[in-house]
Chains A and B, each alone.
Chain A
Amino acid sequence: DAKTTQPPSMDCAEGRAANLPCNHSTISGNEYVYWYRQIHSQGPQYIIHGLKNNETNEMASLIITEDRKSSTLILPHATLRDTAVYYCIVRVDQAGTALIFGKGTTLSVSS
């Protein structure tokens, strides 16, 4: 079973920041937080991952609370093309470890 809890859906206006929360209260010390997204009819796409420090790349920022029990994925300027299902996954950062997906959050970006 997935070790994360996410809201089933969220809405965001185009151009605004989208903040997607994730709870992972049972995360272990050696587990990372990964985010993937799946645009309709496509395979999941890696976004970002982190252990305990905040991370930023060209796609998004990841904010992890100090106790590591929750995190937030931030899309700073959402566009219509960011409409997708976003999955928060915790896993050890070890090659070969399977990704355990939950149901994710459906983000709808509207103009």
Chain B
Amino acid sequence: DAGVTQSPTHLIKTRGQQVTLRCSPKSGHDTVSWYQQALGQGPQFIFQYYEEEERQRGNFPDRFSGHQFPNYSSELNVNALLLGDSALYLCASFDQGANTEAFFGQGTRLTVV
């Protein structure tokens, strides 16, 4: 049983560009959350998707948007990239109905130059 998978693992983008990160949740999980982790800091909650809708959002600008597909996979989009967006982006999934603990992927390391 595959856990949470994220792609790509590493990415380099130029300031001002747009990026899309992808996440496939653990089998049986229907809810996906995204987190941003800057170097030396704990993960910060960006938003959460359930039933293809954004259900909760952290303190992140509108440049950060997302989507959830019918198969529960999810995308995180960031527009107009800033140098400060360089971070490890983590996806976590869980089963809303079972209230299981969150399972995290290995993350995507985004570098903005």
Interface residues of A (CB under 8 A from B): 2, 34, 41-46, 49, 85, 87, 93-96, 98-104
Question: Is the CB–CB distance between B50 and A96 below 8 Å?
Answer: yes
Residue of A nearest to B31 (CB): A96
Q: Is the interface on chain B under 10, 10 to 19, 20 to 34, or 35 or more residues?
A: 20 to 34
Chain A residue with the shortest CB-CB distance to B94: A95
Q: Write out the residue numbers on chain A whose beta carbons fall within 8 Å of the beta carbon of B63.
A: none
Tally of A-B residue pairs with Cβ under 8 A?
A: 59
Rank and list the top 4 A-B pairs by shortest CB-CB distance, nearest first.
Answer: A43-B104, A101-B42, A46-B101, A95-B99
Contact B42 A98 (CB under 8 A): no
- Given known contacts A43-B90, A43-B92, is B97 in contact with A95 (CB within 8 Å)? yes
Per the bound structure, the CA–CA distance linking A42 and B6 in Å amounts to 12
| Interface secondary structure of A, over-half rule | loop
Please indicate the chain B residues that have their CB under 8 angstroms from the CB of A96 in the complex. Answer: 31, 48, 50, 55-56, 96
Q: Is the CB of B56 within 8 A of A2?
A: no
Closest to A102 in B: B42
B33 touches A45 (CB 8 A): no
Closest residue of A by beta carbon distance from B107: A43
